[in-house]
Structure formats: C-alpha cells, structure tokens
C-alpha cells in the first residue's frame, strides 16, 4: 500500500478489524519511512454486475459513482459520513439481491433517490435536479411540491405499503 503522505510502499499493519457489517476489513497502517498513519479498507470485489445506460451501452458497476453522487448531494448537510456509507451499502445489496448480472441505470438512480429522500430532503432535491436534468426553476418547484405531498416516513418507521 502506498503511503498518502510520502508515497513509500513499505508499511506495517497496526490494527485490523471487521467493518461494514463484516463485509470489509478496516486496517490501520503506519508508513515505515515517515511514520504517517492511515486507514485502508479491504473488501471483496464484485465485478459481475453491469449497468445498462439509457442509450443501451453497458458498463461495469462502479460503487464509487453512487458514493460520489450521494456525497455531493449531502455536501454541507447534517448527514454523517457513516449514514452516507450505509446508504451506499444498502443500495448495492438491494441491486445484487434483486437483479442478476445487469441492472438498468434508471433503477440505480431511483434507488439512490429513495435512500436520499429518507436521509435528507434537500439532498434528495439536489440529486434529483441532476439525475432528472432539471432545466428551469419550475421543475425544482414541482419536485418540492411533490415531495411535500408525499407522507414522510420517520426514521426507523417501517414502510407498511411496499
């Protein structure tokens, strides 16, 4: 592993423990050259899931695209990084459980929007504006009005009708 501070490749593992519900391993490392400590995560790479784009092209699933989209939508919002990571994990688990080897990109986007709506309505509208290609303020207003019409499910309250 390359040290983020000095780029040296010699390090030692100080601590290892399970992370993210035992789906990955968190490792604390120390660079043997400069002494800088950093954290890495090791997880099973799942490469068989492909995303089918709107134009019909297929591409390998990239969890970082979902993670980056959620992080940008939640920027400057009171949402913890762990809550964001948990949402990403839940989306990926649902995709892997519900779809075979291929999943349409619109399904991925819809799952992200559903998770963001549960996390934070402002983050949801931010993501929706990019995902749905809003072109004017009227589309923002329509989305916000639709959001207000839908009943809000409280944290930890199960959705009884899905």
Which string of b and e fits 77-91 if b means at least 16 CB within 10 Å? eebeeeebeebbbeb
What pLDDT score was predicted for residue 45? 66
Tokens 């391993």 belong to 25
Has residue 90 got a pLDDT over 50? yes
What is the pLDDT confidence band of residue 162, given thresholds at 50, 70 and 90? very low
Average pLDDT over residues 90-117: 90
Has residue 100 got a pLDDT over 80? no
What pLDDT score was predicted for residue 24? 86
CA dist., res. 147 & res. 62, Å (int): 29
What pLDDT score was predicted for residue 12? 96
Would you state the structure tokens that stand for residue 30, as one six-digit string? 């120390």
Q: Which residues does residue 17 pair with via DSSP β-bridges, in sequence order?
A: 26
Would you state the structure tokens that stand for residue 8, as one six-digit string? 């040296």
The continuous run of DSSP H or E covering 102 comes out as strand 102-104
DSSP 3-state of 11: strand
What pLDDT score was predicted for residue 47? 54
More confident residue, 147 or 62: 62
Has residue 9 got a pLDDT over 80? yes
Supply the angle between the helices 63-73 and 121-131 in degrees, to the nearest 10. Answer: 120
CA-CA-CA-CA torsion sign (51, 47, 83, 70) = negative
Ranges of each domain in the chain: 11-43, 50-149
Question: Is 83 within 8 Å of 119 (Cβ atoms)?
Answer: yes
What does pLDDT average to over the chain?
A: 85
Q: What is the pLDDT of residues 105-127, one digit of tens each?
A: 989 998 998 999 899 989 988 88
Question: Is 13 within 8 Å of 27 (Cβ atoms)?
Answer: yes
Which of 36, 37, 39, 38 lies closest to 19, judged by CA?
A: 39
Percent of the residues in the chain that have a pLDDT greater than 70, as a whole number: 88
Instruction: Give backbone dihedrals phi and psi of 117, rounded to 5 degrees, phi first.
Output: -60, -40
Strands 102-104 and 58-60: unpaired
More confident residue, 138 or 66: 66
Q: What is the pLDDT of residues 14-49, one digit of tens each?
A: 999 998 777 789 999 999 999 999 999 888 766 578
What pLDDT score was predicted for residue 127? 86
């Amino acid at each position: 592993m390359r040290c983020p501070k000095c780029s040296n490749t010699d390090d030692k593992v100080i601590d290892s423990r399970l992370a993210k519900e035992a789906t990955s391993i968190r490792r604390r490392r120390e660079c043997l050259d400069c002494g800088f400590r950093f954290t890495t995560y090791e997880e099973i790479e799942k490469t068989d899931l492909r995303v089918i784009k709107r134009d019909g092209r297929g591409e390998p699933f990239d969890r970082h695209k979902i993670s980056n989209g959620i992080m940008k939508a939640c920027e400057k919002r009171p949402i913890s990084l762990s809550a964001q990571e948990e949402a990403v994990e839940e989306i990926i688990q649902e995709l892997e459980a519900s779809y075979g080897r291929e999943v349409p990109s619109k399904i991925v986007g819809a799952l992200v929007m559903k998770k963001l709506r549960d996390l934070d309505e402002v983050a949801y509208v931010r993501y929706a504006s990019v995902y749905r290609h809003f072109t004017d303020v009227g589309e923002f207003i329509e989305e916000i009005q639709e959001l207000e019409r839908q009943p809000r499910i409280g944290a930890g309250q199960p959705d009884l009708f899905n």
